[in-house]
Amino acid sequence: MLNAPGIAWPIARAACWPTLTGRSWDEAEHRWHGFENRWRSPGHPAYAQGMGADNAFRLLCREGKTEAAGLRTTMRTVAAMREVLHLASNNGHETQRIQGSEATLTDDDTLLDAYSRAVITASDKVSPSVVNLEVQQRLRTPRATNPRFPQEARGSGSGFIFTPDGFILTNSHVVHDTTTVEVALLDGRRFQAHLVGDDPETDLAVVRILAPDLVPVSFGDSQAIRVGQVAIAIGNPYGFQCTVTAGVVSALGRSLRSRSGRLIDNIIQTDAALNPGNSGGPLVTSRGDVIGVNTAVILPAQGICFAIGISTAKFVAGRLIKDGRIRRSFIGVGGQNVPLHRRIVRFYNLPVESGVLVVSVEPNSPAQRAGLREGDVIVGYDKHPMAAIDDLHRHLTEQQVGARSSLTIIRRAEKLMLDIVPEESTSSAHE
């Protein structure tokens, strides 16, 4: 039986054949067409006498076809009924769409409730581990040497406890070159912290407080996150303690240049709002696992914020706790990226079309001892192509300290191979 839901159903029911005979609409229509075929056939008296439909019905009724009377009563509105059924059918679709919209709204409400519960759960889990750092930093401006001006400046940032014995991870630019660091917990307790170590090249630092009953965070896997998944940032923007903002992971694998000039790789981009004071706070998943350390925001833009992946943070934090610093190698050159002449690239079959132009060589450095000169272009290091300074930075790691390596250079139009032994970097200014 045709199901005509919605406002058209009373009309369909009132006019429908089942109301009169208890039969289905299809059966009624089939019987009516059978009646038409009978009275229109040449052998039927109604056709021979040229009767119309009404007279034919009377004839059939006189013949005892009483069922036809009921059929006629219903079928007088066949054309109208078809329209009614058409409208009813359309209304059914509209009703289904309305019901679908209502279902969608219900589903959206459910999703929103689930989203809210996820953010609330993550916030409740991580907030006790998030701390507010209030610091005093030495000024590095010309006024700092003038006794009439302040020698220090106050600042604030965020961090999070990642061990039960009080180690806190934050950004290097929050605690670098500080004289005092005070940590405020969510429960109102305040402690003096001491700097364990900081690494400006990755903008990460570790401080420690001695306090009981600390709640550490749980680490996630920054390599397992996907673009589009929920990202929740917790921090203390402008001193407003434990502020929660939520968004999604906008992109992965970004690169961000640190204050020392080195490039930080595998940066997470998110649209979870960050403000001054959020630096050093955690970026967490809906399960409350930390996947990043909030570090930067592009101020003129909206919704473009960055966090250092927790895989990098765990490595750096471990080294800072162990050694207080990150060991890196340097060769003692200053350089800039330059394109190579196409003839040189083709002649030597070079895998790169650019290199690092040596603009300065530090005295008594590995580069000077290796015979590197100003004007040389570095195109390879230890059999790895070097197309830019960032490539050179990535290869000057702790493992290269004291290890003899080969340096491929272009001097004028000649390709040369030099042996070089990098040394441990003692300043972030070295390259």
> Among 173, 199, 250, 354, which one carries the catalytic annotation?
173
User: Catalytic: which of 199, 203, 289, 376?
Assistant: 203
Phi, psi of 365 (to 5 degrees): -105, 165
Torsion angle of C-alpha atoms 230, 235, 239, 241, degrees rounded to 10: 90
Q: Which of 250, 279, 405, 425 is catalytic?
A: 279
Asked if 203 is an active-site residue, the reply is yes
Q: What CA–CA distance (Å, rounded) separates 415 from 78?
A: 94
Catalytic (active site) residue 93: no
Residue 176 a catalytic site member? no
Active site residues: 173, 203, 279
